[in-house]
Amino acid sequence: RKTRIVNNGSACIGVDVNRNFLAGFGGTGSSGDPCSNTFRGNVAFSEKESSALRDLIAADRGRVKTAVSMHSYSQMFLSAYGYTTDLPPEYPEMFRAMEIAVGALTATYGTKYTYGNTAVTIYIASGVTTDHYYENEGIVHSYT
């Protein structure tokens, strides 16, 4: 879940890269404690993994239409926002796309997925990829 970087001044290792993005950085659903599984790092994009993803998407700004971040937690299809329970203006379009995708996955593999806004569906998580891609890169179809 976390990188293997040494945290100065702590015996605990790593940063949760999916809490190291700019949108909502440092808010609820992340931790400033290096020993926590949701340790966000000291500043947004402090990690080479998050800064590399930021730079990759920014290099193709305006051309990227969909961004999907993969995790191995459960069968969930999640959209922005993670850091607030407010729904984005384009949420009806996001929900429509998730509904179609989940329908196709279930029809193909029989796997049931839960889907919806991250903060409402699972929990508040600040500094996550989906929110950064949506807010800072204009990618409406940004999912985890």
Q: What is the pLDDT of residues 3-46, one digit of tens each?
A: 999 999 999 999 999 999 999 999 999 999 999 999 999 999 99
Strand residue runs (E) in 3-137: 66-68, 76-79, 114-117
Q: Which CATH topology does 17-142 take?
A: Aminopeptidase (3.40.630)
Short-list 65, 69, 85, 86, CA closest to 77:
69
Strand partners, 137: none
Q: Is 1's pLDDT higher than 90? A: no
Q: State pTM to two decimals.
A: 0.92
Give the mean pLDDT of 53-69: 95
Residue 73 confidence class, pLDDT cut points 50, 70, 90 = confident
The domains of the chain are located at: 17-142
Residue 111's CB is within 10 A of a number of other CB atoms, namely: 10
Peptide bond into 81 cis (omega under 30): yes
Which pLDDT score, from 0 to 100, does residue 19 have? 97
Which pLDDT score, from 0 to 100, does residue 39 have? 98
Q: Is 124's pLDDT higher than 90? A: yes
Which pLDDT score, from 0 to 100, does residue 72 have? 76
Which pLDDT score, from 0 to 100, does residue 74 have? 87
Q: Report CA Rg, the chain.
A: 15
Amino acid at 121: T
Give the mean pLDDT of 66-74: 88
